[in-house]
Structure 1
Amino acid sequence: MLTDSTLQAWLAISAVDITAIGLFSLLGIPYVLKFLWAPLLDRYSPRWLGRRRGWIAASQFLLVALILGFAFQDPSKNIHALAWMALALTFVSATQDIAIDAYRAEILRPKERGLGAGLSVAGYRIGIIVSGAGAYLLADHVGFNVTYAALAAVAALGLFATVAASEPKAPVGLPGTMSEVVIQPFHAFLRRPESLGLIALVCLYKFGDAAAGRLTTTFFVRHLEFSLTEIGVFYKGIGISSSLLGGIFGGALMFRWGLYRSLLVFGVIQAVTNIGFMFLAISGKSYVTMITVVALENVSGGMGTAALVALLIAICDRRYTATQFALLTAVASIGRVLSGPPAGYLVEAFGWVSFFFFTAVIALPGIILVFILRGNIDRYDIMFTIRPDER
């Protein structure tokens, strides 16, 4: 969030050109490419805190330092310096994601995975709200420089949680060489007949949802003319309860519905909520409509992400958790990263109403792939209670 919508809001009020704002979404490329250095986290274990927590702690320390650095920047005077700092921040954040994803996949017992995925999504959404709603509210009164300094202090709290947590037991058969840790994770996954279909599903499942969210903050600031405080309260703040509900409820439903039905229903709901933003663009500034649309978007987004995360956990081999999970989440982030630049041009060419309708249409391929891969999804659902290294 700190290099996404929060930074987008800072750029928007600093009179940065909307095309440049759209290009800033390319700073998320490290999330797409993080599988390139993920093997290092499978191969090497820091001496302090262990194989997973050691990497998490190191990443958190660097994140605090970089976020604090934002407090001394001015987008209107040196946009290039801010861009380079944002790139460094996304690189370290992507590394932290690799370590946390691997930790979650390895620490959760089989029966805990569905609800665990839901809770992790809920926690992620809380982080989004804090760095979004909290940042907007604070920035509207004291400016973004002080806000980023405060967020650096909040980020430092994560170090205490990392130290207090337990370290998952390392699986048998860990890779012993860099050659093995680089080649085997890809070979083990790609030799599955359904591998390409799964990659396409992971890439496209949340593509429409991601495209709709690329310029939402700019949409509220410039088209509907909401203040930062209003955005913080109604757009970000209202999402707290609905995000928690979406993540937890989605995780709970997976125990009853299974992965296939969850992916299908949650995918359809995600597409429908994009239509809600289209109606908001037509009706104009309306608190009731905004609250309704935002609440539905957060619920559906949390449910969809919970189902997708549960699928990723099920298909990863624990010997190469960091690498395989990083590869799959990187694929999932392609839509979120690459939809930014064309989003700005689409808004300028066709307007907000057509843009949000288009984001609903491009959600359909992901839903269709769920139908096509039903047999494979059902098979992984059965395997969901078995550790990948025990198959």
Structure 2
Amino acid sequence: MFPKLILLATLYISQFIPTTFFIQALPVFMRQQKMSLDVIGFLGLLILPSGLKFLWSPFIDRYRLGKLGHYRGWIICFQLLLISTMLVTAFIDIQDNLNALLTCMFLASLFSSSQDIATDALAVNLLEPEERGLGNAIQSGGNIFGAIIGGGVMLILLDKIGWRYSLITMSIFMLLNLVPILIYQEKSQPQLENSTFFRSYFQPFVSFLSRPKALPWLFIVLLYMMGDSVTGLMIRPLLVDRGLSLPDIGWVLGIVSYSARIVSALIAGLVIVKLGRTKSLIIFGIIAALSSLLYIIPAIGVSSLLVIYTVCIVVNATQSMAYTALLSAMMDKCEKNTAATDYTMQVSVMFLGGIAATVLSGMLASTMGYSFIFIMSAAVSLLSVFLITNKYRVSA
């Protein structure tokens, strides 16, 4: 199993670095330029491909790129496009070309989310059911380690060596991360039966949505990580308002907090095996929602670095455990021959909920304040847990 985990870890790390860098760096950069919170909230729209990627996931399920393998070929293609986008971005003057920067961020999100379709499908086919708890911990941990690099190390490098060389360094690291997938030999997957274009496109969606409790489950997915999305975006301009520098934010949110996310994801993976999916979703969901209320402490004016570090570590660690439980439950609801579509549909719903919540939170924060936003995000997360335990209870 160890080679599988190494392969998945490198894939999830490399695809998450660029988008995390943009998500981490841009809110800080924009707030330092005195931009309003409602404008910063609209940054969520730039990751719209992550919410709409289910629209092209059937093509990745059905078609392969020559002799590169099915999902392996798509992964290699999209990661090379992602690296190319980063190299182009390195030579943009971000002070005078914000539109070009936002365009590159959108393209990075497009290529990263498309790669994620193929990577998730590869993971579904690669992992046995009994391996999925630990496998999803590696997925969550890989994403988080990518976030440490993109959102922590890169912010510190940005302050030390500047924009261009930071982006070039990122591109080189991502290129090296291609090695495991290049040497991996993918097993051939059964092909979908021949059918018309429209039938082959819509059939995976119809098949998934016709399963018992599919729609209630998607509604839970929509709500479950909304709090994480809102707090993850709004804490950055809040820390700027509290006087933290770019390296300070890189350390507290990018390196220390995300390191806590990795550890807690691995712990969650082991706990999920013991408790099962449903109990883990409920327990971790409640803990994560309540812990996110700790962000009210810096929101009311506390600027002590020790307090901020403690709050951010606790919130990120608990949210990571909830995220790992959700990923495990989502993977259980996938069929192997339509893994890309089944998994991506669920991930897309999760992202669409996050995008809507972040855009709305930016507008509300500018009028109602940070504390109100953190309370509302916790309430929505608790609502999703209530649905799991009551009317829309799902088997997991």
Using the TM superposition, give the Cα deviation of residue 342 of structure 1 relative to its aligned residue in structure 2, in angstroms.
2.0
107, 127, 140: which one aligns with 1:108: 127
Contact preservation (8 Å) 2:141, 2:262: yes
Alpha-carbon distance between aligned partners in 2 of 1:16 and 1:347, rounded to the nearest angstrom: 13
Q: Does 1:34 align with 2:57?
A: no
What are the within-5 Å matches in structure 2 for residues 169-180 of structure 1? 169-170=188-189, 172=190, 174-177=192-195, 178-180=197-199
53, 61, 73: which one aligns with 2:80: 61
Q: Give the equivalent residue in structure 1 for 2:150.
A: 131
Q: Structure 2: where are the runs of 5+ without partners?
A: 1-19
Which string of whole-angstrom CA distances, capped at 9 and with x for unpartnered residues, describes residues 113-172 of structure 1? 1111111101110000110111111111222333222212222122112112341441x4
What are the within-5 Å matches in structure 2 for residues 228-377 of structure 1? 228-372=246-390, 376-377=394-395
User: Compared with structure 1, are the counterparts of its residues 71 and 249 closer, same or farther at alpha carbon in structure 2 (3 Å cutoff)?
Assistant: same
Contact preservation (8 Å) 1:27, 1:90: yes
Secondary structure of the residue that 2:21 maps to in structure 1?
A: coil
| More divergent stretch after superposition (226-235 vs 339-348) | 339-348
Using the TM superposition, give the Cα deviation of residue 373 of structure 1 relative to its aligned residue in structure 2, in angstroms.
5.9
Contact preservation (8 Å) 1:202, 1:331: yes
What are the within-5 Å matches in structure 2 for residues 115-194 of structure 1? 115-170=134-189, 172=190, 174-177=192-195, 178-194=197-213
User: Compared with structure 1, are the counterparts of its residues 122 and 202 closer, same or farther at alpha carbon in structure 2 (3 Å cutoff)?
Assistant: same
| Poorly superposed stretches of 4+, deviation over 4 Å | 14-17
Using the TM superposition, give the Cα deviation of residue 295 of structure 1 relative to its aligned residue in structure 2, in angstroms.
1.2
What value does the CA root-mean-square deviation take over the aligned residues? 1.8
Which string of whole-angstrom CA distances, capped at 9 and with x for unpartnered residues, describes residues 296-354 of structure 1? 12211221111111111101111111111111100011122122222222221122222
Contact preservation (8 Å) 2:36, 2:366: no
Alpha-carbon distance between aligned partners in 2 of 1:313 and 1:113, rounded to the nearest angstrom: 8
Contact preservation (8 Å) 1:15, 1:76: no
Q: Give the equivalent residue in structure 2 for 1:385.
A: none
Contact preservation (8 Å) 2:37, 2:365: no
Contact preservation (8 Å) 2:217, 2:392: no
Alpha-carbon distance between aligned partners in 2 of 1:154 and 1:120, rounded to the nearest angstrom: 19
Q: Give the equivalent residue in structure 1 for 2:41.
A: 22
Secondary structure of the residue that 1:225 maps to in structure 2?
A: coil
Secondary structure of the residue that 2:22 maps to in structure 1?
A: coil
Alpha-carbon distance between aligned partners in 2 of 1:344 and 1:271, rounded to the nearest angstrom: 19
Q: Structure 1: where are the runs of 5+ without partners?
A: 382-391
Q: Give the equivalent residue in structure 1 for 2:232.
A: 213
Alpha-carbon distance between aligned partners in 2 of 1:6 and 1:151, rounded to the nearest angstrom: 14
Contact preservation (8 Å) 1:106, 1:168: no
Letter in 2 for 1:335: G
Contact preservation (8 Å) 2:38, 2:364: no
Using the TM superposition, give the Cα deviation of residue 11 of structure 1 relative to its aligned residue in structure 2, in angstroms.
3.0
TM-score, normalising length: structure 1: 0.91
Contact preservation (8 Å) 1:270, 1:301: yes
Contact preservation (8 Å) 1:14, 1:75: no
Alpha-carbon distance between aligned partners in 2 of 1:133 and 1:86, rounded to the nearest angstrom: 18
Contact preservation (8 Å) 1:278, 1:353: yes
Q: Give the equivalent residue in structure 1 for 2:243.
A: 225
Letter in 1 for 2:219: A
92, 99, 107: which one aligns with 2:111: 92
Which string of whole-angstrom CA distances, capped at 9 and with x for unpartnered residues, describes residues 165-189 of structure 1? 341441x452434334312211111
Aligned length: 376
Secondary structure of the residue that 2:132 maps to in structure 1?
A: helix
User: Compared with structure 1, are the counterparts of its residues 374 and 250 closer, same or farther at alpha carbon in structure 2 (3 Å cutoff)?
Assistant: farther
Contact preservation (8 Å) 1:70, 1:149: no
Which string of whole-angstrom CA distances, capped at 9 and with x for unpartnered residues, describes residues 358-388 of structure 1? 22122122111111267532xxx4xxxxxxx
Identity among equivalent positions (%) equals 28
Using the TM superposition, give the Cα deviation of residue 93 of structure 1 relative to its aligned residue in structure 2, in angstroms.
0.9
User: Compared with structure 1, are the counterparts of its residues 68 and 175 closer, same or farther at alpha carbon in structure 2 (3 Å cutoff)?
Assistant: farther
Using the TM superposition, give the Cα deviation of residue 357 of structure 1 relative to its aligned residue in structure 2, in angstroms.
1.8
TM-score, normalising length: structure 2: 0.90
Which string of whole-angstrom CA distances, capped at 9 and with x for unpartnered residues, describes residues 223-268 of structure 1? 2111111112222211243112111111111111011110001101
